[in-house]
A and B are shown apart, each in its own frame.
Chain A
């Protein structure tokens, strides 16, 4: 069960793995080519956690801080959802880029080298894949925001029927 939750975020991110390369995905899973094991930091979890927290905060802001009659329609909710997604886009982009700049991403995942050590192919294209992962993080953030909205909208004063239909 512990492993299920440990891998849950990573498995969810893999729904959108086609946006970026398998090599970046392996890095985010914590794969270490030097040991052949998954013993590096599970970045899916750390980035997923940032995104979860941001989504929760934005949700709480909308339903319990703003909670205004002039800002409680479906389009208000959508603005907040989009805001959350855009933040997540930059979070995803920045996390991967900063790992690259810090030299944390293993060389064997970055480049394919020949027998003499010369680069024959770049496996993870920076910064394009940073944006690609950012996009997948953006979609994840939207899903988190939607789920949090569904779970926590009940106690809002005026916004609780947004974006859901009023019963």
Chain B
């Protein structure tokens, strides 16, 4: 990480701005700042002092093993110290560094990467169990100027100066992460020399999302099923007048703002699946009213039965695109904007969450 902190860098300034915003917004009771390599080294709670004391020379002073970093062990150490009401913020280049012992047997590298994935999955599965299923992880991909020695997968250093990715992970309960993101948005990380490129959210929440069928907007007619008016309708009839004649449409409201998901992800209907292909889905945000979002389900066929709308947890393409699969030489391989092993790390987290809860949310409606 030396190359990110030499001098006054965008990396430092964006982290400084974010941590300061957390303090002044009073969203947190206390900030406990740590430096982590082979062990966790506490550095108090003074943000300004923390930022000014993360030069390469300070890393050496703090101790620990600055060499090969096993990201899985580092994440496990963060998770093992994480308490129920905490939000842990983990900042790293997330480069998997197998080390020079693999130089003589490069065929074992795949096994090392797979092992990292499995170890990370195990750590997060344990954390999910401890949190009784209520855990969210937001992984932010940023870029900042890097000026220093870059160590490849075999620990061979080369000098590099240019933009390099780094990652900020927020880990906590769904409600706490949501509160944090609402109060101090990820926009705070931008514009101080670092750029926010991508975000991926993983969550498993014990709390059910409030949803229900709405009387309007609609086309045609239906009655609520009195035995379960929130999620069951009956006596459906298509619209018989005007341009929309022959179409049946009903709306379902849902409080998707309970989830710490990116707004554009929630509004993109490609991230949803409807089990009944007779119905076409639309998604809109609603200002005011009981629900934050409204789904529209329309059909020319107006079939009856059970309809399930699923908000899918799609493994993001940007993780694959930003993974360096070679890990040899940044400039020769054209991987200056990529991270070696990234896909395996995030797949480990993805596997842990999806083993518990496959999708972000599911909404079930019955048409009798």
Contacts and interface: CB of A to CB of B under 8 A. Distances in A.
Interface in A11-39: 22-23, 26, 31, 33-34, 36-38
B287 interface: yes
The 4 lowest CB-CB distance pairs between A and B, nearest first, are A36-B212, A36-B230, A112-B216, A115-B287
A36 B221 contact: no
A60 interface: no
A33 B285 CA distance: 18
A34 B117 CA distance: 46
A115 B293 CA distance: 10
Interface of A: 7, 22-23, 26, 31, 33-34, 36-38, 108-109, 112-113, 115-117, 123
B230 A116 contact: no
Interface in B187-212: 212
B356 interface: no
B288 A34 contact: no
A117 B286 CA distance: 9
A38 B284 contact: no
A119 B214 CA distance: 17
Given A36-B212, A108-B215, A109-B215, A31 B287 contact: no
Contacts of B215: 22-23, 26, 31, 33, 108-109
Most chain A CB within 10 A, of B216, B230, B284, is at B216
Most chain B CB within 10 A, of A7, A23, A33, A116, is at A33
A112 B230 CA distance: 19
Contacts of A22: 215, 221
26 contacts: A7-B226, A22-B215, A22-B221, A26-B215, A31-B215, A31-B224, A31-B229, A33-B214, A33-B290, A34-B290, A36-B230, A36-B290, A37-B229, A37-B230, A38-B224, A38-B226, A108-B216, A109-B215, A112-B217, A113-B289, A115-B284, A115-B285, A115-B287, A116-B287, A117-B288, A123-B216
B237 to A, nearest CB: 11
A115 B230 CA distance: 22
Contacts of B287: 115-117
B113 interface: no
A113 B288 CA distance: 10
Most chain B CB within 10 A, of A34, A36, A113, is at A36
A112 B216 CA distance: 7
Contacts of A108: 215-216, 289
A123 B287 CA distance: 20
A151 to B, nearest CB: 30
Given A33-B214, A36-B212, A109-B215, 8 more contacts: A7-B226, A22-B215, A22-B221, A108-B215, A108-B289, A112-B216, A113-B288, A115-B286
A123 B216 CA distance: 10
Contacts of A117: 287-288
A36 B285 contact: no
B213 interface: yes
Contacts of B289: 108, 113
A38 B285 contact: no
A108 B217 CA distance: 10
Nearest to B291: A36
Nearest to B290: A34
Contacts of B226: 7, 38
B229 A38 contact: yes
A36 B286 contact: no
Contacts of A26: 215, 224
Contacts of A116: 287
Interface string B278-309: 00000011111110000000000000000000
Most chain A CB within 10 A, of B213, B285, B286, is at B286
A20 B142 CA distance: 58
Contacts of A113: 288-289
A112 to B, nearest CB: 5
A37 B284 CA distance: 23
